Structures are given as C-alpha cells and as structure tokens.
C-alpha cells in the first residue's frame, strides 16, 4: 500500500472523529459553519497561490506562453481571490450586504 492510500484511509477515519469531538467541545453548529467558511476562504487563496507557483515551476513553456491563457488565469485568479476574501470577511461579519 502506498503512502497516498494510507493517508486517505487514516484521514477518512480520523477527520470525522476530530469534527465530532470538536462539536462536543464547541456545541455550536453555527460557529462550526463559520469556521468552515473561514477555512474555505483561506483554501481558495492557497489554491490561487499554488496554481501560480505550479505555472512558474512545473508547466512546460509551451503551455504557459499563450497570451490568452495568461489573461484567463489572471482573471480567474482575481475572481477566486475576491470570492475567498469576501467569504472570510462575510463570515466574520465585516461585510454588510444591505
């Protein structure tokens, strides 16, 4: 069994147990959803950073040389960053929708 399969199996069993224990400690589903929202926003920002790093280091030149590909990547990165930051700020109550 390779390490990836082993990691997936361990996380499949441990993460639900961690969340169950966390719920028993916190006892607030709303707070847990807010924590998940903050985590999701941070995850989106991390994905954008990882994509740009991968583009600069792990993609052959022929796939990153097109100007339209770069424009599409910039536009999608800005959109994802905005959604991620907005999600975190909205969860924290710093954004007013009215």
Does 95 or 79 have the greater pLDDT score?
A: 79
User: What Å distances lie between residue 92 and 33, 41, 42, 62, 70, CA to CA?
Assistant: 11, 11, 13, 42, 33
pLDDT by residue (tens digit) across 12-26? 999 899 988 988 988
Average pLDDT over residues 53-70: 78
Q: Work out the pLDDT band at 93, boundaries 50, 70, 90.
A: confident
User: Which residue has tokens 């993460």?
Assistant: 15
- Nearest of 74, 37, 78 to residue 55 by alpha carbon: 74
pLDDT by residue (tens digit) across 3-53? 999 999 999 999 899 988 988 988 888 888 888 888 888 888 888 888 888
Query: What are the boundaries of each domain within the chain?
Result: 28-92
């Amino acid at each position: 069994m390779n390490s990836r399969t082993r990691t997936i199996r361990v996380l499949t069993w441990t993460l639900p147990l961690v969340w169950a224990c966390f719920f028993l400690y916190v006892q607030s589903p709303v707070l847990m959803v807010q924590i998940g929202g903050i985590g999701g926003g941070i995850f989106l920002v991390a994905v954008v950073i990882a994509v740009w790093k991968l583009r600069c280091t792990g993609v052959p030149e022929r796939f990153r040389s097109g100007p339209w590909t770069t424009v599409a990547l910039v536009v999608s990165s800005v959109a994802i960053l905005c959604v991620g930051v907005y999600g975190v700020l909205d969860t924290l109550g710093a954004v007013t929708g009215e």
